[in-house]
Structures are given as C-alpha cells and as structure tokens.
Amino acid sequence: MNKNIVQLKAGTTLQNGKYTIEGVCGQGGFGITYKGIQRDLGVNVAIKEFFVNELCFRDATTNTVGITSPSKEHLVDNLRQKFRKEANGLFKLRHKNIVRTIDFFKENDTIYYVMDYINGPSLGKYLKTTAGGVLPEDKAFEFFLQLCDALSYI
C-alpha cells in the first residue's frame, strides 16, 4: 500500500464517472475541496471530501481513505458525523447568498458532498488585489449586507 498522496489526482472519477476531478480548490479542517465537472450536464461543481490530514491517509493505488492509527478511529468517526451533519444542513438551505449543495455520496471509504462551483477568488485572495489589503467602504458594506441576508435566512 502506497500512502504518500493526500489529494485525489486530476482526472480521477467518482460515482462511476458522474464526476471528474479537475484540481484542488483548497483544504481545511474537515477535508479537501476539489473543482470538478458533472459529466452528464457538463457543469463545474465543487466536491468536498472528508479527509482530515493529520488523521487520515490515502492509498495511492485505490484512492481508499484510511485512518492513521486504530486509536484515532473514534475521533475520526465523530468528525465524519460532523461533516455529514454539515452536508445535511447545507443541503436544506436554498438562498442566493449561500452556495447550493446538490449531492452527497460515499466512496473510497470516505464521504463527499457536491456543491455548485462559484468561479472567482476567495475573500482572502480578493483582499490581496485591493490597495493595502483593505476593502473600500462601499464594497465592504455590500458584502456585509449579503452576509446579513444569508444569516437572517439561516
């Protein structure tokens, strides 16, 4: 078993070819988010995979995700349940300022959820393009109103 890869490679397919991984968008506490394509519709999607870097490993041959130590199994199971709860909660939300979750599945001994892909930079990357890393007041207010609208909906 070759354990030296973390992320799925570009070109990897999931759900019997329904989704194809195109690259990595980012990695956080619960997992890895990929840019992918939903092949039947030809649309870009974001695919979030449960993969806690410090606690999980990936078999490079099969893409199967395992736990680094049997003593960590209970912790990983608890985190997996939180990830599932996150996906379930997001799936129920339908609002213009909240990314829509459209699918959930199990594969490679882990779980995934699929969201609409939003093309553009993260807020952090956007701030790096502004003068001094600061948003102009009118732009900050616009973002603030969108956030308040989403929070009010939730």
Using alpha carbons only, how large is the chain's radius of gyration in Å? 17
Burial 72-93 (b: 16+ CB within 10 A, else e): eeeebeebbeebeebbeebbee
Quickly count: other Cβ atoms within 10 Å of residue 131's Cβ: 7
CA distances from 12 to 7, 90, 131 (A): 10, 25, 39
Q: Specify the 3-state DSSP secondary structure of 1.
A: coil
pLDDT score at 127? 86
How high is the pLDDT of residue 4? 56
| Predicted pLDDT of residue 132 | 83
The series of mean pLDDT values per 10 residues for the chain, 154 residues long, is 75 98 92 97 97 94 94 96 94 94 97 95 85 87 94 94
Whole-number pLDDT of residue 100: 94
Report d(CA 80, CA 72) in Å as an integer: 12
Q: What is the pLDDT of residue 122?
A: 82
Tell me the pTM.
0.88
The burial of 34, by beta-carbon neighbours within 10 Å (0-12 exposed, 13-18 middle, 19 or more buried), is given as buried
β-sheet bridge partners, residue 19: 14, 38
